[in-house]
Amino acid sequence: MDFFDVVSVQEAINRLMEAFKEYEFKAEEVSILEATNRILAEDIYSHIDVPEFNRSTVDGYAIKSKDSQGASESVPSLFNILGEVRMGEAAEKEIKSGETMYVPTGGMIPQGADGMVMVEYTEKLDEENLMVYKPIAFNENIILKGDDIRKGERALKRGKRLTPESIGVLAALGISRVKVYKKPKFYIISTGDEIIDLDEELELGKIRDINSYTLYSAIVKLGGEITGKAIVKDDYELLRQQVEKGLDISDIVLISGGSSVGARDYTARVIDSFEGRGVFVHGISIKPGKPTILGEGKGKLIVGLPGHPVSSIIVFGAIIEEFIYKKMEVHNHKLKTKAIMDFNFPSSPGQQTYQMVKLEERDGKTYASPSFGKSGMITLLSNSDGYIIIKPHEEGIYKGEEREVYLL
């Protein structure tokens, strides 16, 4: 593999998917109380109708809707009260023309009734007679059996991230345990003689380890798990030992730094030293993040990320997140919004450019302005709300055009 034989972002993803086409993230069964933010590993089909009976959406009286036509405050419709439906109990009586029963919100609609009059539009003459002052339409104020979910219908699709609303659907179906993908396991390695950890004394020429902490947070946000992290000096054997440790206890090993061409950059050599196909991408036409390495060792993914924090996070989102979500069949996973560009910006020919932007609301519209800075500046990320993608074939972006902004 020649250094910096760059490929497009899409080609890099294609090679990654091909290299790991047989690889599968395993599933596990968990309680729905532990399933929030996990990725569903199976389609969920309903074995019941939801609701299982016609239910009232208001407090009021169940009637035949046609009996209320023409009702008004001056000329009300008169009904015979048969009783009431209690919550949690079946409605045992059948409504005939001119008859009614009181039904609370969520209560079962009696047979024969096809509408609910809100209690505000009624008045009891006595315990047996009711006046209705407003006409209602057919099935008004009623949720019909199966309106929410029909028996046999797919209620939740495999690959869905389970939200509180999704957990509510599972509870409605009586499902207490569900299959989700196991959290992808990552091992993070930061490389470089100059890198020190947070608890070490900062000396002139040294740099605090930023990448492993930003990547740690990105992995947690993704829904992954970190099995360990380490700082390694520029030493081939030390790096290989850490990569081997990571391969044994994780799904993906991330090596931050050491991906560019240089006498002391050992990442590619280390990846090629393990059993497997070794490096299959060394260089991606992405800005920032060109010196990215993708490889395989012992059947696991090894990624050499650029040392600059912004480049590292951009590549993580553009490549690694895409890989994981494609394998788990997750769709529409990126949060995005539309914004009007508040600036002109040229592109880098042949490269897919990720331009950081800030968002601002003005006169009811959302505008995006550029966040400028070098990829080694971590504040470029913290001061930005998202980014836009400029495709390789585009000449740039123009002030006034509307673009999609991917939110951080």
Is residue 193 within 8 Å of 263, Cβ to Cβ?
no
CA-based nearest residue to 79, from 107, 113, 46: 113
Non-local CB neighbours of 147 within 8 Å, separated by 6+ positions: 51
pLDDT of the residue at 347: 81
Nearest to 287 by CA among 9, 14, 10, 16: 9
pLDDT digits (tens, 9 = 90+) for 42-97: 999 999 999 999 999 999 999 999 999 999 999 999 999 999 999 999 998 999 99
What does the angle CA 259 – CA 263 – CA 267 come to, to the nearest 5 degrees?
30
Per the rule left: phi > 0, alpha: psi between -120 and 50, beta: everything else, 92 is alpha
End-to-end CA distance of the chain: 33
Are β-strands 122-124 and 60-63 bridged in parallel, bridged antiparallel, or unpaired? unpaired
Contact 38, 163 (CB under 8 A): no
Task: Give residue 163's identity as a one-letter amino acid code.
Answer: T
Nearest to residue 292, comparing CAs of 303, 302, 280, 301?
A: 303
Q: What is the pLDDT of residues 319-364, one digit of tens each?
A: 999 999 999 999 878 889 999 999 898 887 889 999 999 999 999 9
Full set of structural domains in the chain with CATH: 9-26+183-327 (3.40.980.10), 33-50+149-181 (3.90.105.10), 55-143 (2.170.190.11), 336-407 (2.40.340.10)
Residue 371 is predicted with a pLDDT of 87
| Cα gap 132→142, rounded to integer Å | 17
| pLDDT for position 1 | 44
Give me the pLDDT at residue 259, please.
60
Low-confidence spans in the chain with pLDDT less than 70: 1-4, 258-264, 374-377
